[in-house]
Amino acid sequence: MQYSLIPGHEEIKQRLRKSVAEKRIPHAQLFAGPDGCGHLPLAIAYAAHILCDNPSAEDSCGQCRQCKNISKLTYPDFRFSMPLAALKKRKPLSSEFTAEWRQAVLANPYLTLNDWYDFLGFDNKQGFISIDESADIIRAISLKPVEGKYRFVFIWMAEKLRTDAANRLLKSLEEPEGNNIFILLTSQPDALLTTILSRTQLIKIPPFTIHEIESALKNKFTLDDLACTRIALLSDGNLSEAYSLASKEEVKAETENNFLNWMRLCYTLWQPTKTGKDNFSKLTDWVDEFAGAGRENQKSFILSGMEFFRQCMMMNYAGAELVRYSDDIIPSFSKFSRFIHQNNIEEFEKQLNDAFYHIERNANPRILFLNLSLNVNRLLHTPA
């Protein structure tokens, strides 16, 4: 992985280059940015620049033995830790999933936590980084690097460190043994312990711009300019999401459309149909199906809904030029936005936030989404 293969983020790249040029490499760093921002490829490119046998001022050479091993993620002095779900009443170690991790990252260096869980088929299980993993990291860093002058320990999605696991690493982060460099990566820095934050140098990575995503899509896919623009708007700075949308035969705002269809079902809940029955049975079918979608997908659905409501409010009160959705991207968006207004937006936000909170705490999804749907029906009929 090289800087030249990563779109945009020139300011971040220049900061990392300066660190290498001045030989001022912090022993513990925190790369923090939203999903799909590219903090993992940036961290790997940074390590490659440090370890390269023939680096330029701008980048690693990409041709030496070190660079070739890094590009295949087979470099022996790279140690990756990532969230995993418990297996058969034991806590798995990241070293047991090296092949899976390599395959997932090489396929998509911008992968999100949901992408990783989907790749492993975790379904309803939620991943974490255990104290056993921390102990394994400490054992690894007690040894000398095999090839290079440094060993890199990457802790991906460090917000998933359990409290005991994070505390176990504090001394190593503050006073690392030998030539070990820790790079923690997170999409939720606020979820990290303050003791972790205080021991790492923060590098904030912004989401990709619309232009950067458009450029990346044009380089990777054979899409016209309009399709690239639509995907860039929908992905909201998340390059992994942009790649996922672009890989489909028809580019659609799938999650947003699903959310809008659910809104329609909630709105018409008690209205008679041609058969003389109401839509309640359709809703219960939807709830039964969505209950099996997995917690991470349910959380993603709720977060998309929060953004959907925010765009509706912007449409109604700030002007269409600031809105990233349109009827071309999400059919009937402007028509639906009229139902979201100052008299119900706060309660909508509360309902979705509460649902997200309870999903994270393993609430029964059938009861949760049925109750949420009934509340949504009430709120959609609230007069403006």
Domain limits, the chain: 3-204, 210-249, 252-380
- pLDDT tens track for 217-233: 999 888 878 778 878 88
Distance CA 45, CA 51 (A): 10
Q: Which pTM value belongs to this model?
A: 0.72
β-pairing verdict for 180-186 and 151-156: parallel
Residues in the chain: 384
Torsion over CA: 305, 306, 309, 315 (sign): negative
Query: Given this model, what pLDDT does residue 8 score?
Result: 92
- Residue 173 burial (10 A CB sphere; 0-12, 13-18, 19+): buried
Residue ranges of the chain whose pLDDT lies below 50? 249-252
Give the per-residue pLDDT at 206: 95
Question: Are the C-beta atoms of 299 and 359 separated by less than 8 Å?
Answer: yes
What's the confidence (pLDDT) of residue 251? Answer: 47
Q: How far is it, in rounded angstroms, from Cα 215 to Cα 94?
A: 34
The superfamily (CATH) of domain 3-204 is P-loop containing nucleotide triphosphate hydrolases (3.40.50.300)
Average model confidence (pLDDT) across the chain: 89
pLDDT the model gives residue 123: 65
- pLDDT for residue 249: 44
What pLDDT does residue 241 have? 87
pLDDT for the residue 276: 60
Answer whether 160's CB lies under 8 Å from 86's CB.
Answer: no
The C-alpha atoms of residue 283 and residue 369 are separated, in whole angstroms, by: 10
CA distance 181 to 153: 6
φ/ψ of residue 81, rounded to 5: -125, 140
Helix runs in the chain, H state only:
10-21, 39-51, 65-71, 98-107, 113-120, 131-141, 163-174, 194-197, 210-220, 225-235, 239-246, 254-267, 280-291, 295-317, 333-337, 345-360, 365-380
CB-based contacts of 42, cutoff 8 Å, min separation 6: 3, 6, 9, 12, 13, 16, 31, 205
Task: Tell me how far apart the alpha carbons of residues 118 and 104 are, in angstroms, rounded to a whole number.
Answer: 10
